[in-house]
Structure 1
Amino acid sequence: MVSAYCFPDEMTEAQKPLLGLPQPTDSASDNAAAQVIEQTLAKVSGHPANAKQNILLNRVVDAWRQHHGQGSPNPILILVAGYAGSGKTEFSRFLSDITGWAFIDKDSLTRPLVERLLIALGGDPHDRHTQLYLSEVRPLEYRCLMEAAFDNLNAGTSAVLSAPFVAQLTDTNWVSHLTTRCAARGVDVAVVWVAPTPNPCASTSNFAATPATRGSSRTGMRMPAPSTPRPARPQHT
């Protein structure tokens, strides 16, 4: 488990150095660009990357190279999870901007259909808590999200998914199915948990990145335990 702190409000400012990155043409420019990316991620996370965090960092740098015609052809699936308002969407866009990976937000993809389906079933279009939504609608919502992700992965395009993933990452069957499916396609998997801290004066959120090794069907993904206690929150989807 890798833990760090994330400051979503600082992401726009942190991305400015990335606008002037040289294209990967030689080892010197590669190293210079990698250092800028590392410093930017360190600013966002609030901590310098350690050896384990470098697993994700190296993939981000590699994706930058691949985005310019170099780098590894193996795709990666990033699940950016967290409660509503935690900053997961902003962090997902941040990763997508650096890497060129496809960014897929659950609400943008499914909300209109979910609301119409809830109305058709006699429910409230804004319901995200009743048994009707949890048993009849939410599984279809996440199925659409994952199928959209695998459409990209099957085409060799890495994907960054933004969704709560609260129930999914604590469901061993769901995690096992996903890791097995990814392993069969040679896809790397990483989970980033974005969670607000209880102290509003402290950092806006923290995240933990949990990489799963390509080619392994182990159910290594799980809900990361935050470094500080979280206050009780209502259920999110």
Structure 2
Amino acid sequence: MSTPTVYIIIGTAGSGKSLRARRIAHHLHAAYLDKDAMSSRFVEAGLVAAGYEAGDRESNDYYTTTLLPLEYDSLLDVAGQNLRLGNSVVLDAPFSPFLADPEFVASARRRFGWPAEARIKVIQIHVAPELLKARLRARGLARDAAKLADWDSYWAQHGNVTCAWRGVELRQIHKDTDEDDELTDDSNLLI
């Protein structure tokens, strides 16, 4: 059995991380774990049950302190299940609240039983602010409304965050145009 690898694809909403994560998972025949696909229905139901709008996330303390940690714990736990079976995994999530914590991955490895030999590769995608804003407008998701309504604050908090995680192989990708998605060969990210 080969050594399993965790590919963590991070970036702001609309950065193109899902496209990149799906390409890598397909190329590797790895498990593809998308945080939103795994938890959005539960998060929206939880927000509504607590008296909030279903798309009210980043500006909502209940979401950020109660639901968001559960989303990531579930994602990291399912990743651990796959890794212990010898399967490589591709994680598709922004990880924004955790990027400044140098020990985040080491803690996740311990908490969720990731094998010690598992490699961890992080690909962080940075997108020019006007491109990102245009993408969020174009996709028209309710959860992006608050981001667009207070764009300057959103960008200041999420736009130029650098991953500070220790114990990972980190690659940074900077994109200024949509053509960058079409021209990118992801195979060089897999090494």
* TM-score class normalised by the smaller sequence: 0.5 to 0.7
Q: Which residue of 1 aligns with 2:93?
A: 163
TM-score (normalizing by structure 2) = 0.65
Deviation at 1:176, TM superposition (A): 2.9
Residues 197, 75 of structure 1: alpha-carbon distance in 2 compared, 3 angstrom cutoff: same
Residues 198, 132 of structure 1: alpha-carbon distance in 2 compared, 3 angstrom cutoff: closer
* Distance in 2, Cα, partners of 1:127 & 1:223: 31
- Is the 8 Å Cα contact of residues 77 and 190 (structure 1) preserved in structure 2? yes
Aligned counterpart in structure 1 of residue 121 of structure 2, from 181, 184, 190: 190
Residues 97, 225 of structure 1: alpha-carbon distance in 2 compared, 3 angstrom cutoff: closer
Number of aligned residue pairs:
143
Q: Which protein has greater RCO, CA pairs closer than 8 Å, 6+ apart?
A: 2
Deviation at 1:108, TM superposition (A): 0.5
- Is the 8 Å Cα contact of residues 168 and 175 (structure 1) preserved in structure 2? no
- Is the 8 Å Cα contact of residues 78 and 190 (structure 1) preserved in structure 2? yes
Residues 170, 223 of structure 1: alpha-carbon distance in 2 compared, 3 angstrom cutoff: farther
* Distance in 1, Cα, partners of 2:102 & 2:51: 31
1:134 and 2:64 are equivalent in the alignment:
yes
Identity %: 29
Q: Which residue of 2 aligns with 1:220?
A: 167
* Distance in 1, Cα, partners of 2:11 & 2:76: 17
* Distance in 2, Cα, partners of 1:190 & 1:92: 12
Secondary structure of the residue aligned to 1:107 is helix
Give 4+ residue runs of structure 1 displaced > 2 Å after superposition: 171-176, 178-185, 197-200, 218-229
Could you tell me which amino acid in structure 1 is paired with residue 167 of structure 2? G
Could you tell me which amino acid in structure 1 is paired with residue 63 of structure 2? Y
TM-score (normalizing by structure 1) = 0.53
- Is the 8 Å Cα contact of residues 179 and 219 (structure 1) preserved in structure 2? no
Gap regions ≥5 residues in structure 2: 136-162, 177-191
Deviation at 1:197, TM superposition (A): 2.6
- Is the 8 Å Cα contact of residues 169 and 175 (structure 1) preserved in structure 2? no
* Coordinate RMSD, CA, aligned: 3.0
Gap regions ≥5 residues in structure 1: 1-71, 205-209, 211-217, 230-237
